Amino acid sequence: MVPAAKTCLRCEASLCQDHLKRHSTSEGHILIDPTDSLESRKCSIHELSFRYYCTEEELCICVRCCPQHERRHHKLITIAEASEMVKEDLKNVAEKLSSSKGEKEKEIQKLEEYKKDLENSLNGFSMYLTSLFHQTREQLDLLENQAQSRIWAHREKVTQPVSQLIQKLQMMKEELSKKICDIEELFHVTDPILILQEGKTLAMADVDPETTISRLTENVQSAGYLDEGLIFVTLYKGLSDTLSHIKRELYSQETLLLDIKTANEFIEISSDLKSGKSSEKKISRPKTPERFQYSQVISTGGISAGRHYWEVETSYAGNWRIGVCYPSIDRKGKQSYIGDNAKSWCLGGCNKLYTVIHNKRPCNLYQKSAEAEKIGVYLDYEAGQLSFYELGDPVRLLHTFSATFTEPLHAAFGVWNSSFKILS
């Protein structure tokens, strides 16, 4: 049997290559890939091949169905025309899908680059911590070795005299034992002359006074006491230095001072410029353009690079805000509230609830822990990261802001019937 090359829908016959050459090539003879089932291509009513397509009902119809659709004023087109229209629609869909595919590829590439950068960042930080802990362990090992060396040196220093004294006393004990034996033997002698001669010599035997022995023992014992206090002080200093080194490696420990020129007249500032609290009475201060209209104050100086950390003690009751702001923040009007503008980021405490605010968009967070009144603030300027931590047990990350900082940052504080204190 010769295999079919094409099937003619009009003739309803499958043709080999030889018959295909002699077959009609007119427009009505539509050739498709060979098939042995043409039932799906025929009208189920008239059993004639589909020739037309009704655009209203979206149906393929035969020639005998046409009058019925024409009476309804339906638009009829040939199967070939309908096929071309579908092809055109599919072409448009393919273009849209191709465009969407391209966008997906761009997103995938962007995410892969982000993933790579993230992995590199995490690997770098992991290596940094590994190095830091390695240095810390080396420092701790060095401190331990120094302390143990002191103990071993002291042991060598004090045990040798003790051993020598024990040896000396042992020899004295043996001499005394010999003299005691000689005296006891003399008790059994019956010759009075010999007793007088030997006894006189034995009676003159030296006996070390107890006070001398006691003094030697006390001297050795007093020299044996280890100055544990010296070792503890040395260890404390070494551990403190190691901890300070770790802190310097991790972040810059900020020494923040409040800028009295910015303090509102209803904030009482401490003499060390480290704390502030609400005041019912207005405090007389010079009018300066830097001073806030509302009960707020910011720190002196500005942070424009590096990693920084500070801690703030807050009051459990009342209303307070702590955070950072640009020096260009407004000092008057409702837009000058810390967090109520694009130039400040803050954590607020009010009614036993934490809230984070930036650009006047608040977000309620956790309920305050009853025992926690300290907040840790971590700032990585280059990374654009500002994090707030509740320093309870355990420590809780409350929120992290991500931003691109464009100005130096000042620590910012606001208090209403409350207080705050900068701890570090």
pLDDT in tens, 52-92: 999 888 889 888 899 888 888 888 988 889 989 999 999 99
pLDDT at 352: 79
Q: Are strands 13-15 and 59-61 parallel, antiparallel or unpaired?
A: unpaired
Question: Residue 394: is the preceding peptide bond cis (ω within 30°)?
Answer: yes
Q: Which amino acid is residue 205, in one-letter code?
A: A
Half-sphere exposure of 47 (CA within 13 A, CB side): 0
Which whole number is the average pLDDT over 245-260? Answer: 76
Is pLDDT above 60 for 290?
yes
State residue 172's pLDDT score.
83
Q: How many residues does the chain have?
A: 424
Closest-CA residue to 344 (of 354, 355, 330, 358): 358
Cβ neighbors of 117 (< 8 A, separation 6 or more) are: none
Chain segment 3-17, per-residue pLDDT in tens? 655 767 556 556 666
pLDDT value at 197 more than 90: no
The structure tokens listed for 150 are 């002191």
pTM over 0.85: no
pLDDT of residue 104: 94
The model's confidence at residue 160, banded by pLDDT at 50, 70 and 90, is confident
Structure confidence at residue 364 (pLDDT): 74
Q: What percent of the chain has pLDDT over 90?
A: 37
Helix (H) or strand (E) holding 353: strand 353-358
Q: Is 423 helix (H, G, I), strand (E, B) or coil?
A: coil
- Tell me: the pLDDT tens digits for 98-124? 999 999 999 999 999 999 988 998 898
* Helix residue ranges per DSSP H, 225-378: 228-250
pLDDT, position 342 = 95
More confident site: 17 or 193: 193
